[in-house]
Chains A and B, each alone.
Chain A
């Protein structure tokens, strides 16, 4: 879509920026990446009252133009880089009226870049309720920019904001805030001359951030570095002086525009909730309760929609088989592509429900309390309070969780979190566990209420958390870092979740999951189908020739003959040859070559296991009917007649799936986030070693 004007939304976290973005653009938005970095770029469009079309870019929330995390560093680049496809014509700065002072810091920085600015004053109703009176006209006059009162949640003031955007000037008219040249005399004019800018604040920001800015050439960056040395520039000191000067200016602005009640207000609503939710004992009890409820609901609520999806696929496969002529292409479509698709889509309910919970916990402000309560424990094991969020998210899927570690500013804490998150039992392991547990653990109650199978599953989940904590603790001693960790974080006021944001996040995450994981799983299903349908040389031809001899047709009924043929073909297919090749390595774990095939294919994605088992044990009909797969696996015998899936083998397999890094998407995302192949390589190696060791141990203990 061609836009007539480009508008960037800038603001502190928790100011309702995303809500305002949704209110302005509706569902007319798309999420992509900023060029060169994996920071989510949300772009939407809105029709202005004068008929023009505005492109709205939602920039990551930040407290200042000096970035503390990767996401925040994009804000200055987008605002300052000239004439790119992202350079805004206008910036809307969202200010939280209940906390104007801290919010104005970012405003003054943006304003000093001399881009046309509009202020959107959000949550004015909440401020009024707390007794804060803001003289908006005087504020607008003092700042020299339009100030629009909005309530993004109640959709008030959106029309006025659109009006103001359409009337906005092409030139920046805001008042100067502070004397920038005084912060680094000499250096600013030298840099200005060097990069040919007439904006002193832009020049000062280059002095601070030139090392990380992508739009500067290495030569320019080097030149700026030299100038800094000449003028003995100290970045942190200059930044401290700037912040103090800015707050002095802000205090001047607020002096006669904002009236706050002198009398101490009553204990706030939020404070009362905090007393319970961060209580010494209740705090942890409630947190555990919420987690338990979350997992119960994920399993309970997803059962019905999952059943529907499975049934739908059975129907589709049946219908396709009826319509299409039999042949290798039909088989590829039905047993490869459609079977693979159903393996992906069946996870949608779980992912959607988990992300609904996570977005509710974040939206209400509870997640930051969890961080607050857990920081001390997490720090003991080499993590950070903020690691709790990705670890909990890891129960759904490691991919988005690893992306969410960007909020952890400290490099070492972030790396350790990334390294251990894939150990947490993700939803892709669930079908593997349920299949194997129902195979070997009897479904009977102990102590009246606890089902033995349920206990085994809970045990696997607890094991995953414990192992993540232990590995993190070990890595704390291995990783070296000079950077200091800190935990300076806003505890936002409790708010009701915004249900359309929750719905939007469910939709967005499910879509990402289907697209990202779906590609891999379908590709693997197709490759697996090819590998198991064809064999080297004329082995297949020989098998066909052998069984077409009359004595077989006489002594066996046609059904079992087909089965014997397909089993022998599988053993001689490329997949079978591969399985036999690795058999010596996995025999100590109790696995045979058939399980070996499943292990190999599962290295692309764990959920492929069930489908592979189904294909390998030549199940007739649908590959994802767990019942029939289970029956086949129960009947599977070794050459000597003993069952393949004993207690030892099943638990050994579960251990392998618990620890091994069997997920191509996670490997890819770890590389994207760390920008170094060594991280995913080390992760893959240590997890495979752990998996092998644990499986070996468990097999020999339970054999």
Chain B
């Protein structure tokens, strides 16, 4: 299951990443393994999405979300 498969309001816990380059950037922004993430909204055209992670709102594209594997 990846982050991009969640619907608005659903939560998950980050397990690992499929893409090293992307993972470095995501982890710097506080999106780390073990962290709880919640989909807070989806952009009007379906992409990008906004997630709630470590106390703030982060936006990322669906493709980027699909590199985050949830527990």
B58 lies within 8 A of A489 (CB): yes
A284 lies within 8 A of B59 (CB): no
With A66-B24, A486-B22 given, name 12 new contacts (CB 8 A): A63-B29, A105-B30, A237-B20, A240-B20, A243-B32, A270-B57, A372-B50, A488-B25, A488-B58, A490-B56, A491-B58, A492-B57
B29, B40, B48: the one within 8 Å of A376 (CB): B48
Contacts of A279 in B (CB 8 A): 44
Give B69 Cβ to nearest chain A Cβ, in Å.
15
Q: With A and B bound together, what is the CA distance between A490 and B21 in angstroms?
A: 18
B44 lies within 8 A of A373 (CB): yes
Contacts of A236 in B (CB 8 A): 20-21, 24
The reply to whether the CB of A291 lies closer than 8 angstroms to some CB of chain B is no
Give A107 Cβ to nearest chain B Cβ, in Å.
13
Given A102-B55, A372-B50, A486 and B41 contact (CB-CB distance below 8 Å): no
Given A105-B28, A487-B61, A490-B29, A280 and B20 contact (CB-CB distance below 8 Å): no
Question: B22's closest neighbor in chain A, by CB?
Answer: A486
A66, A260, A368: the one within 8 Å of B28 (CB): A66
Contacts of B58 in A (CB 8 A): 488-491
Q: With A and B bound together, what is the CA distance between A236 and B27 in angstroms?
A: 12
The reply to whether the CB of A99 lies closer than 8 angstroms to some CB of chain B is yes
Contacts of A490 in B (CB 8 A): 29, 56-59
B27 lies within 8 A of A376 (CB): no
The dominant DSSP class at the A interface is helix
B21 lies within 8 A of A484 (CB): yes
A64 lies within 8 A of B45 (CB): no
Contacts of A101 in B (CB 8 A): 30, 54-55
The reply to whether the CB of A98 lies closer than 8 angstroms to some CB of chain B is yes
The reply to whether the CB of A244 lies closer than 8 angstroms to some CB of chain B is yes
Contacts of A561 in B (CB 8 A): none
B29, B54, B56, B59: the one within 8 Å of A372 (CB): B59
Contacts of B48 in A (CB 8 A): 372, 375-376, 385, 487
Give A486 Cβ to nearest chain B Cβ, in Å.
6
A-B contact pairs, 8 of them (CB 8 A): A101-B54, A102-B54, A247-B32, A260-B55, A280-B44, A488-B22, A488-B26, A493-B56
Given A240-B23, A247-B27, A376 and B56 contact (CB-CB distance below 8 Å): no
Given A99-B56, A488-B60, A64 and B28 contact (CB-CB distance below 8 Å): yes
The reply to whether the CB of A453 lies closer than 8 angstroms to some CB of chain B is no
Question: B28's closest neighbor in chain A, by CB?
Answer: A64
B26, B40, B55, B61: the one within 8 Å of A99 (CB): B55
B28 lies within 8 A of A375 (CB): no
B21 lies within 8 A of A491 (CB): no
B47 lies within 8 A of A239 (CB): no
A98, A247, A283: the one within 8 Å of B55 (CB): A98
Cβ proximity bits A204-243 to B, threshold 8 Å, 1 near / 0 not? 0000000000000000000000000000000011011001
Question: A281's closest neighbor in chain B, by CB?
Answer: B44
B22, B28, B43, B64: the one within 8 Å of A243 (CB): B28
A487 lies within 8 A of B45 (CB): no
The reply to whether the CB of A682 lies closer than 8 angstroms to some CB of chain B is no
Contacts of A244 in B (CB 8 A): 27, 32-33
A105, A278, A376: the one within 8 Å of B41 (CB): A278
Q: Top 8 A-B pairs ranked by shortest CB distance?
A: A102-B30, A491-B57, A376-B45, A243-B27, A280-B44, A64-B28, A487-B61, A376-B47
- List residues of A (54-85) whose CB comes within 8 Å of B's CBs: 63-64, 66, 68
Question: B61's closest neighbor in chain A, by CB?
Answer: A487
Give B32 Cβ to nearest chain A Cβ, in Å.
5
The reply to whether the CB of A377 lies closer than 8 angstroms to some CB of chain B is yes
Give B30 Cβ to nearest chain A Cβ, in Å.
4
Cβ proximity bits A480-523 to B, threshold 8 Å, 1 near / 0 not? 00001011111111000000000000000000000000000000
A240, A280, A489, A492: the one within 8 Å of B24 (CB): A240
Q: With A and B bound together, what is the CA distance between A162 and B24 in angstroms?
A: 36
A283 lies within 8 A of B61 (CB): no
The reply to whether the CB of A271 lies closer than 8 angstroms to some CB of chain B is yes
B41 lies within 8 A of A274 (CB): yes
A376 lies within 8 A of B32 (CB): no
B27, B43, B47, B56: the one within 8 Å of A278 (CB): B43
Given A484-B21, A486-B64, A99 and B28 contact (CB-CB distance below 8 Å): no
Contacts of A281 in B (CB 8 A): 44
Question: B62's closest neighbor in chain A, by CB?
Answer: A376
Give A345 Cβ to nearest chain B Cβ, in Å.
41
Question: A284's closest neighbor in chain B, by CB?
Answer: B44
Q: With A and B bound together, what is the CA distance between A354 and B23 in angstroms?
A: 38
